[in-house]
Amino acid sequence: MKRLFLLGGLLAVFSLSLAAAQQPAAAAGPKTIDILKLKDNLYVLTSSTPGNAATFSGGNVAVFITDGGVTLVDDKLAGWGQAVLDKVKSVTSKPITRIINTHTHGDHTGNDNFFGTSVEIVAQDNTKANMEKMDAFKGDNAKFLPKKTYKDKLTLGSGKDRIDLYYFGAGHTNGDTFVVFPALRVLHTGDMFAWKDGPYCDLTNGGSCVALPRTLQKVIASIKDVDTIIPGHSPMQTPADLQMFQRFTADLLSHAIDANKAGKSVDDATASFKVDKYPGYKNERVKGAVQAVYDELKK
Ligand SMILES: [Zn+2]
């Protein structure tokens, strides 16, 4: 009996050390990104779900193959540049000639420097200003900042290669671009529609959970000719999904305003917000959004 117990103990120690030995190997494993074909000339680099440290590579990247070269929408976290390049090379021999940064965050702009100054980097005016405040773009790295910027709307290319960029107002930050590929009827929303959960409104970069529902309403009213939506950090969506997300953010905003007026705490306001009527929605990020509304109401 004693011997059996000892054997069991040894086995337990052995399997524990096996698990420990396997852990670093998994974490330091090769950086691989999944790729999804949306159209013959449009792919998405996924592996974009935050929280999974082993596979999270940054936001969804659109890979648009035009006659003149490849346009990327966003370029993931720093350190993933080679993995992005390898995946692009697996579907086209054309060079990457342009990167559109939907907004300032490092999981969307992390490889602007990797792709270099020969690539045209495009962003909304406020996003360029936000990027100038990031360590990644200070000093000598300022040469990787966007060279082409715009205020409300910008069209790049023409015909089947046309790309329309729109800015509709504050939400996730104060410089989020919506990218439309009109010939393909596809819209990339960046993190203005990241996931089916509470929105992340980055107040330090001009974001606003108070403005977000209004801004999304403008998007829905203005961009009608699309069938497929590439969100910031989740699987592909439809315009109906975007409309539901807009209703979700509007509902959450009015709930938070009412709770604030009633003197309720952020925790109480969060607990009483029900996500059940929104199929597929989580409440892991609702508290952050409620907190953002409370902070904005204090201003
Ligand atoms: Zn973001």
Which of 55-60's residues contact partners 24+ apart within 8 Å by CB, and which partners? 57/31, 57/33, 57/83, 58/106, 58/107, 58/108, 58/110, 59/102, 59/105, 59/107, 59/108, 59/190, 59/191, 59/194, 59/232, 59/233, 60/188, 60/230, 60/231, 60/232, 60/233
Q: pLDDT for 244-268, tens place per residue?
A: 999 999 999 999 999 999 999 999 9
pLDDT given at position 19: 38
Q: 232 C-alpha to center of ligand 1: Å?
A: 8
Report which of 141, 294, 99 is spatially closest to residue 203, judged by C-alpha positions. 294
What is the distance between the terminal CA atoms of the chain, rounded to a whole angstrom? Answer: 70
Supply the DSSP symbol for 157.
S
Q: 117 C-alpha to center of ligand 1: Å?
A: 23
Q: What is the pTM of this model?
A: 0.89
Residue ranges in the chain whose pLDDT is less than 70? 1-29
pLDDT given at position 11: 42
Q: 20 C-alpha to center of ligand 1: Å?
A: 33
Q: 126 C-alpha to center of ligand 1: Å?
A: 14
Q: pLDDT for 69-102, tens place per residue?
A: 999 999 999 999 999 999 999 999 999 999 999 9
Q: 172 C-alpha to center of ligand 1: Å?
A: 7
pLDDT given at position 14: 40
Q: 190 C-alpha to center of ligand 1: Å?
A: 7
Cα-trace Rg, the chain: 22
pLDDT given at position 29: 63
Q: 204 C-alpha to center of ligand 1: Å?
A: 12
Q: 212 C-alpha to center of ligand 1: Å?
A: 14
pLDDT given at position 62: 98
Q: 107 C-alpha to center of ligand 1: Å?
A: 7
Q: 108 C-alpha to center of ligand 1: Å?
A: 7
pLDDT given at position 271: 97
